[in-house]
Chains A and B, each alone.
Chain A
Amino acid sequence: MTGIAFILNHREVVSSLPPGSILLDYIRIHSRLIGTKIGCREGDCGACNILVGEPHGEGIRYRSMTSCLMPLANAHGKHIVTIEGLNRKDPTPVQRAMIEHGATQCGFCTVGFVVSLVGFCLGEKKPDEARAIASVDGNICRCTGYKSIERAAAAIAGELAELGEENRLERLVENGYLPDYFQTIPERLRALREKSAQPDVAKQAYIVGGGTDLYVQRPEEMSERRDRYIFDNPRLREVKQVDDEISVGAAATVTDLWESTEFAASFPSLDRAMKLVSSTPIRNMATIGGNLVNASPIGDMTIFFLALESRLDLLQQDEKRTIRLADFYKGYKLLDLGPGEIVESLRFRISDEKDLFNFEKVCKRTHLDIASVNTAVRMRVVDGVIRKAVFSAGGVSPVPMVLNKASALTAGRKPGHALIEEVTAAAENEISPISDARGSAEYKRLLLKQLITAHFLELFPQLCPVEANV
């Protein structure tokens, strides 16, 4: 079979469009499935959300994604679900809840919310209200103010909790959450994947991960191309422990990372950090490699891993080399990466109980926003004395950076207000923020100072000031 083959709702389809074509256009224009809406084409509104199913262990796993940033190639061998593929004769419990709680006004965002909420229903975790709401963290509604959507989400979570967790897919079908054909999908998907090959690649190809940067920056160009799509390369998606290191495959998504037990074990406050990174559908697409190579001065994962003194394994043809992540960034969007060279994986030393880690990010809107300033730190503290600390910071220079001077002066010091003062003062001298839509240069200076303070207050709660005379 040539072309890109997948199951669109209940039908097997094969497309001969360029593999870089945008899935949203395939859905709306080529398939005339107009329930999926276009709000921004930048992954920022969720009106185009779809569900993507792929085999996982014995079963199938669905995740929500924004079809506006998804190359057709990344649909290959998957089950792509739009609202048309979720409708039954009667409204499903999710649709019913949205109607009953008045959670739809102009309706333009509504399909995206319904799709995300069905994604929540299909999730592997125990259903609760917070998770239901988290599932729509990438959906913008300009009409309702969200309270009615929260009420609908709570109702759905409540009903779902009663279904029990065994055989989720089967139960969802039985209880009218999903159309019956969903039960046939796992088998059909396996059959499809056996007979269809990955699309071939042109010379001079880009490497495409989730596409969440590439398709925002140059959608027109990308949609006509035939590139090297690494999103589904199982070898590049692994998150695993090797000796005293964690190795993260470059094609692992932010969600993969968050859900990895090996990874989570080292970071007690991981949930807090990850919740601040983009949104559910974007995290389901965004790869770690993409974040590092995009070289945005405010990439969250980049800042996260810089503080961990990570190293990168790079591969060009058959040549491998390993470099420090900190050395990867040469200047604004300038990398130590050869043409065609691929980031294979990232590695860092596993933290033990003496290592403390914290990540901070402030933006105009707390969630689903790019940082004004972000920063991370890992400190090794032995007997109340800092042995070593590495602070990273984004949004304060042309590259994501390690605050070398600030980090260096902590060695052998006890955490305290004086040290905070010294560290923030040193940091001030190594940064060069500029004014832009995310904040003025003065603000970014002040903010970094505050976020370094926040690191200390999070890691050493005894430093928190208390109001006098209470």
Chain B
Amino acid sequence: MKHIDSLTHVRGESLYLDDLPLREKTLHAAIFASPYAHGTIKFIDLDKALACTGVHAVITAQDIPGENQIGNILPDEPLLASGKVHYRGQPTALIVAETDELARAAREEIKLEIQPLPVVTDARQAAAKGLLIHAPRTFKNGNPDDYFDNFGRVFEGSTETGGQEHLYIETQGAYAFPTESGGVHVHSSTQGPTQVQRGISRVLGLPMHQVEVDVTRLGGGFGGKEDQATPIACLAALAAHITRRPVKLVLHRLDDMYMTGKRHPYSADYRIAVGRDYKIQAYEVTFYQNAGAAADLSPAVLERTLFHFTNAYYIPNCRATAYSCRTNLPPNTAFRGFGGPQGMFVIEAAIAHAARELGVTAECIQQNNIIKEGREFPYGQRALRCEARACWEDLRLRYSTRNLYDQVKKFNQKNKLKKKGLAVMPVCFGISFTKTMLNQASALVHIYTDGSVRISTGAVEMGQGVNTKMVQVVMRSLSLPAERIHIDTTNTSRIANSSPTAASAGADLNGKALEQACYRLTDRLLQLAANILKISRSDLSLRDQSVYAMKKKTDLTWDELISRAYEERLSLSAQAHYTTPQVHFSKDIEMGQPFAYHVYGAAAIEATVDCVRGTYVIDNVYVSHDYGKSMNPVIDLGQTEGGIVQGIGWMTMEEVIYDEKGILQSNALSTYKVPDIYATPGHIHVHFMDNNGHPLAIMKSKAIGEPPLMYGIGAYFAIYNAILAANPQADVPFHAPMTPERVLRGLYSNGFSLFKEKEKTTTTAGN
């Protein structure tokens, strides 16, 4: 089944926040953000802005009726700066005017004076100064120290991974209306409607029942609208509340880029001990996460880094310590993978390092350490229904990785100006919110008297196809065709207390709740059918919009059954609530069973480097992925390809650059480059592993949003290997992204020259 919004998407008829018809008397808001990264506010001049044409209000922290606080995990983030500014881009005032242009023009008139304070942009520097979001955390298994002390083959080094701009093509936005009861109704482009509702309630000092949040769809989220949509919606609501007029706030791209947080950059130190059998005996890593100026979701992101620091490997002795470091950058936030990719990069770098020193391929070490059924992850959960090795073996056989290596080798022997590199990347990713509380969802189903059905869940559609999957769940549960089912916008009045659509878990959680709601209805309806048909309830089922008795169609159709139910005064609505069973985790001992299940897979990536220019192309990506029993292969393939390309972008061309003053240099699409159609790999070959799926996955179809992104890490190592093929002495620090600059500087390190061979021969001839 195709994405249910496809038709309106291609016709330009799908509505996004910025497309909503304007209500009468709508005002437009623009955020004045701090131009400085750190300082004490001495003075802010708002008078000139207030005097500008069309300006209705200029709002600052002191106008906030409730609490000036939007911190979700930790209360450390004001909605509007007060007293101090902590990063460049921090919202400090809000201008409300007749039009967007007038609001932006007035913004130019605001002057902020500060007493500068030291600016820290680097995570290690922050850690050295003791600037931490919370106390460091450590995950440990076995006794790594024993091995490091008594073992020869120990390799150590450092890595850096850069940030990543979400670059949802639809920027952040919200549109708020005051209601007659003194509350607000808000349209928000958010992944977390309840989060937004809670934030607004806190900021306006209103009970949550006075705040209604509605989300139609997002033009992309990728984690960037999980927590960071909240301040935007709070600001729009605040302005609507104060002016008693509808207020629209949609960020222009440049504002969005410098005001919002991104994927966390990480710096790390590793040590790895590899045995003669290429088993990883011990591994130790210290992570420095650049959290930015406020906690945002950083503690949770950090936690997931720890959950995934051994990727898909079983390492008997390991330890990871992680510091969440407070810097003067915009608060970094969720981004597809949520700290997992950052953790995995380091172990892959450590393996690549060891392999280079030992003169083997990284694959040789990877192969010997893939986790097996029943083994424990460092946090105590066992790998059950473990598909890691199955995916790995499938990859090797299906695409004959040995042949691929041979072809690369042959190519490299023949070519001097271009070199190829191949890398294999296994992935293991845990599914569930690691914060156990969030693993709940509810759903609402109405059947109308004409037999058509309208459903609501807490899931937000952002392109990932969750609404399509929800419709599929109902199609199967109620045996109805898609056209008889309509899915509503995500709305806090229909679905209360929803978790954000994140952690790849949206379809599982909401789908399971929906299944239960449908089950309640079918149970009720079939009981009625049993009475009408005088056949035992247990023999009845719904199929093709009819009641079946023991596989035989009866005369009772769906439509008749619904009419009869209404006549009998049966409820045709059902609501259900689902919680993921068995998940738990204790931070005190850093042990537990945080995940419903794991998703596994393996990929091989082939890259070609132009050794004259330092540019590269990704030729091929080969994937064997564990989808469980995919309920929608078109959507799941789309998530896989999209995730891979986003991961490759993060590893190659996407470079978030701040200067030492905390000013974003890569501040527009002209300086921050995401993959375009020519940058996408030549081929992405995807194999859907054939397995029984997992009972905790919706319709046995495993979560797909995040895991494929991490295959992109293989692109880094493919390019790395190509550089080494050209210059075996190359000095290539494990520093991502691997931009053309890093490639060229790596290639031409340690005296490398393309013409060496030739020159030598000429000199010899001359002699």
Q: Which residue numbers of A lie inside 8 Å of B, CB to CB?
A: 34-42, 44-45, 47, 82-84, 87, 91, 94-95, 98-100, 102, 104-111, 114, 133, 136-137, 139-150, 216, 220, 360, 362-370, 372, 417, 420, 436-440, 442-443, 446-447, 450-451, 453-454, 457, 464-468, 470
Contact = CB atoms under 8 A, between A and B. Distances in A.
Contact of A443 (B12, B674, B745): B745
B17 to A, nearest CB: 11
Nearest to B668: A42
B642 A35 contact: no
B685 to A, nearest CB: 10
B217 interface: yes
Task: Choose among A438, A446, A450, A466 the residue with the greatest number of B CB atoms under 10 Å from its CB.
Answer: A450
B613 A102 contact: no
Contact of B220 (A137, A142, A453): A142
B253 A450 contact: no
Contacts of B739: 364
A112 to B, nearest CB: 9
A437 B666 contact: yes
A453 to B, nearest CB: 6
Given A106-B169, A108-B170, 8 more contacts: A37-B169, A104-B9, A105-B464, A111-B9, A140-B674, A144-B638, A417-B762, A453-B754
Interface of A is mostly: loop
Interface string B731-766: 000000001110011001000001101110010000
12 contacts: A34-B12, A35-B13, A39-B170, A41-B253, A102-B634, A102-B635, A106-B462, A107-B5, A145-B684, A366-B615, A437-B665, A464-B416
B655 interface: yes
Contacts of A216: 670
Contact of A446 (B104, B670, B748): B748
Contacts of A466: 416
Interface stretch (B378-386, B436-444, B675-683): B675-683
B653 A144 contact: no
The 5 closest A-B pairs by CB, nearest first: A35-B12, A106-B463, A108-B219, A145-B645, A107-B9
B169 A109 contact: yes
B638 A44 contact: no
Interface of B is mostly: loop
Interface string B346-358: 0000000000000
B678 A137 contact: yes
Given A39-B169, A104-B9, A145 B676 contact: no
Interface string B11-43: 111111011000000000000000000000000
A152 to B, nearest CB: 10
B456 interface: no
B218 A106 contact: yes
B677 A150 contact: yes
B295 to A, nearest CB: 26
B644 interface: yes
A224 B614 CA distance: 44
Contact of B677 (A35, A82, A137, A363): A137
B758 to A, nearest CB: 5
Contacts of B400: none
A91 B653 contact: no
Interface string B262-298: 0000000000000000000000000000000000000
Contacts of A42: 253, 668-670
Given A362-B614, A454-B613, A142 B684 contact: no
A470 B645 CA distance: 35
A213 B676 CA distance: 21
Contacts of B671: 437-438
B10 A364 contact: no
Contact of B417 (A102, A144, A446, A457): A457
Given A42-B670, A105-B463, A464-B417, A364 B6 contact: no
